[in-house]
Amino acid sequence: MKEPHRTVEVEHKDVQHKSDSSMVASTFIKYAAYIIIFFGFLYFLVKYVFPKF
In tens, the pLDDT along 22-49 reads 899 999 999 999 999 999 999 999 999 9
CA geometry: angle 11, 16, 17, nearest 5 deg: 140
Q: What is the pTM of this model?
A: 0.58
Segment 11-25 shows an average pLDDT of: 84
- Domain assignment present for residue 30? The answer is yes
- Domain assignment present for residue 44? The answer is yes
Q: Whole domain around residue 46: which residue ranges? A: 24-52
Q: How many domains does the chain have?
A: 1
pLDDT at 8: 80
Residue type, 29: I
| Alpha-carbon span 48 to 37, nearest angstrom | 16
- Domain assignment present for residue 46? The answer is yes
Q: Which residue did the predictor score with more confidence, 12 or 25?
A: 25
| Alpha-carbon span 41 to 47, nearest angstrom | 10
- Domain assignment present for residue 5? The answer is no
| Alpha-carbon span 23 to 3, nearest angstrom | 56
